Structure 1
Amino acid sequence: MTCHICTACGTQFEESTEPPSACPVCEDDRQFVPPSGQAWTNMAEISSNHEIKWIEEAKGIHSLQISPNFGIGQRAFLIEGPGGNILWDCLSVVDETSREKIDALGGLAAIAISHPHFYSSMMEWSEAFGEVPVYVHADDGEWVQRSGPALTRWTGEKLELNRATLIRCGGHFAGSSVLYCPWLEDGRGALFTGDTMQVTLDRKYVSFMRSFPNLIPLNARAVKAIGEAVHPYRFEAIYGGFSGRTIKRDGSCVIERSVARYISAIEDPSASQA
């Protein structure tokens, strides 16, 4: 029996003798099945020629990314916290080096996931650290491909978690969430966004999409709701879901002006021609 992993999106499935007939995550219009077709692997095969690259992004913030890139290529974060360490978002591989580093930093108190594209091998990570609880929003429960007793489907608009706050924003997925950590950046706060909002390449704005690879935008109502969900929180830094996608200053103001710019662009045709 094998827990097969989709090579396109990196999602791990329940144990089975044969690979799944399809990957629902990839067949959804927010993701895609590659032109070469659906393919499957497993953790042992990935581990044979990949490793997890660690970067200390700031005090108490470590990014983790599979190298060379695998699946979607996202980064996860090990966040050191006064209420216990949190793994934000997840990867398809758990390696011994990462286990040792996390144990040396005090272990894990919780795993929290922004949205289904980054579920990856979340239950495998939980098992590696003693069935640590995994938090996904209940609105996205249909996308879970491997479950277990540690999985917690949280509900509502926010959840206090080890002195951090999980905030449901919606948009990209119904349960798309961000993580607010007020103690980071020397007490000025940090927001971890996954794909709920993505830092642009100029590092001056964030933007919003239903599908990033298929270029499907969100409507104005959805983007306003995202802005409103995070408006009560003040933070200096924004950490997006991919390498280098970080804004280090005035994060709260960045999101406010990003919402305004996006809505202007989609509601006023002249804005895109200026």
Structure 2
Amino acid sequence: MTSTEPPYDPQRTGSWLVCTACGTQYPTADRYEVKTCFICDDPRQFTPPTGQTFTTLDELRRSRHKSKWVPFACDDRFTSIVTEPKVGIGQRAILVRTPRGNVLWDCVTLLDDETAEKIRDLGGLKAIVISHPHFYSAHVEWARAFDCPVYLAAEDRKWIAQSSEYQVFVTETEWDLEIDGEASGVRVLKLGGHFPGSSVLLYDGRMLIADTMVTTPAGLGNWETDAVGGSRDRPRGMNSFTFMWSIPNMIPLSPVEMDRMRDILQKYEFKSTHGLLMGMDIVKTAPEMRRRVELSMQIHIYHCRGGDDHALLEEKME
């Protein structure tokens, strides 16, 4: 079958419209053709008080925007890629280096010559996996640039702004990423909740969670020492994660969604979680991470139901 996919050409796509609120790229330069962003018009997102505006990749490339690269302190096989100054939501993409090749978790809008060259110097990309539609950004641009598939949840297909032969729509709830026909060690778990297909990525005990589970300030807090140097325990009742249908509009998930997420997560061990923004990293032992997730679910369910009975509330978290 002959491919109809056009080659990567930044000059051809550089004038295409990019939503300044969420970073989604639209396959047109006509501001009368696309006047609003359907991603931001969904109740999970928002248009800023200043109103709907668009930029382009050409404008971002000409400006002072650059990619910042930050290896994980706990594991240098993982590197955060963020755009500074912030574009759209400000999420990080995460480059995961496996023996089978590099995988990009989530996506940022900016792809300039410097970023592309650095990734090629590191071996290019074998696959892109995106957690949910808010981070679709310019994923087709990235897929064309590195000639690699981009994996998206089939449940969220209606949220793509442009179609491409590089897109692979995944129907499985739990699936292993193969690279060149062989196992990569990467497993993707479709937990749902925020979007029907919202996913997390698990590789060698590191779980990349985007905002499928939202890292909280209490999750990042440090209570190990007090103000005069004494040791103390973490206070009771502190969560580490919250579970939201809309993060910016603060609409929580239901206990039913918690049940489904937990049924999947309880099969797996993980020793750290890494959220959508820089600094959203919790690194503990595998038992402690499991305990924190389940305790956070208990706290969420308790307050959603006003203290009513629920099966998870009956379980004792050690």
Scaled by the length of structure 1, the TM-score of the pair is 0.92
Say which SS state the counterpart of residue 222 (structure 1) adopts. helix
Amino acid at match of 1:108: L
Q: In 2, distance between residues paired with 1:210 and 1:28?
A: 12
Aligned partner of 1:4 in structure 2 is 17
1:203-249 residue CA offsets vs partner (Å, 9 max, x unmatched): 35111101111111111111221122221111101000011011011
Amino acid at match of 2:213: M
1:108-149 residue CA offsets vs partner (Å, 9 max, x unmatched): 1100000000000111111111x2100000000000002211
Aligned partner of 1:248 in structure 2 is 283
Q: In 2, distance between residues paired with 1:14 and 1:233?
A: 39
The structure with the larger Rg is: 2
Using the TM superposition, give the Cα deviation of residue 16 of structure 1 relative to its aligned residue in structure 2, in angstroms.
Answer: 4.1
Q: In 2, distance between residues paired with 1:265 and 1:224?
A: 15
Match of 2:68 among 36, 45, 53: 53
Using the TM superposition, give the Cα deviation of residue 13 of structure 1 relative to its aligned residue in structure 2, in angstroms.
Answer: 1.1
Q: In 2, distance between residues paired with 1:227 and 1:194?
A: 17
Q: Is the 8 A contact 1:169 1:226 kept in 2?
A: yes
Q: In 1, distance between residues paired with 2:29 and 2:65?
A: 24
Amino acid at match of 2:130: I
Using the TM superposition, give the Cα deviation of residue 269 of structure 1 relative to its aligned residue in structure 2, in angstroms.
Answer: 4.8
Confirm whether residue 226 of structure 1 aligns to residue 256 of structure 2: no
| Two-structure CA RMSD over aligned residues (Å) | 1.5
Say which SS state the counterpart of residue 27 (structure 1) adopts. coil
Give the gaps of 5 or more residues in structure 2: 1-11, 178-183, 221-239, 309-318
Q: Is the 8 A contact 1:208 1:217 kept in 2?
A: yes
Using the TM superposition, give the Cα deviation of residue 101 of structure 1 relative to its aligned residue in structure 2, in angstroms.
Answer: 2.2
Identity of aligned residues (%): 38
Q: How many residues align?
A: 263
The 1:220/1:60 distance shift into structure 2, 3 A limit, reads same
Q: In 2, distance between residues paired with 1:146 and 1:216?
A: 28
Q: Which moved more, 1:91-100 or 1:163-172?
A: 91-100
Aligned partner of 1:185 in structure 2 is none
Match of 1:66 among 66, 80, 83: 83
Aligned partner of 1:83 in structure 2 is 100
Match of 2:202 among 180, 192, 196: 180
Q: Is the 8 A contact 1:4 1:15 kept in 2?
A: yes
Amino acid at match of 1:242: L
Equivalent runs, 1:183-262 vs 2, <5 Å: 189-203=205-219, 205-249=240-284, 250-262=288-300
Say which SS state the counterpart of residue 28 (structure 2) adopts. strand
Q: Which moved more, 1:54-63 or 1:134-143?
A: 54-63
Q: In 2, distance between residues paired with 1:128 and 1:158?
A: 28
Match of 2:144 among 127, 131, 137: 127
Amino acid at match of 2:88: G
1:34-80 residue CA offsets vs partner (Å, 9 max, x unmatched): 12111011111112221111101122010011101111011110011
Match of 1:164 among 181, 186, 204: 186
Confirm whether residue 148 of structure 1 aligns to residue 164 of structure 2: yes
Q: Which moved more, 1:28-37 or 1:244-253?
A: 244-253
Amino acid at match of 1:267: R
Q: In 2, distance between residues paired with 1:251 and 1:136?
A: 27
Say which SS state the counterpart of residue 188 (structure 2) adopts. strand
Q: In 1, distance between residues paired with 2:201 and 2:164?
A: 23
Amino acid at match of 2:71: E
Q: Is the 8 A contact 1:14 1:147 kept in 2?
A: no
Match of 2:27 among 5, 14, 26: 14
Q: In 1, distance between residues paired with 2:102 and 2:48?
A: 36
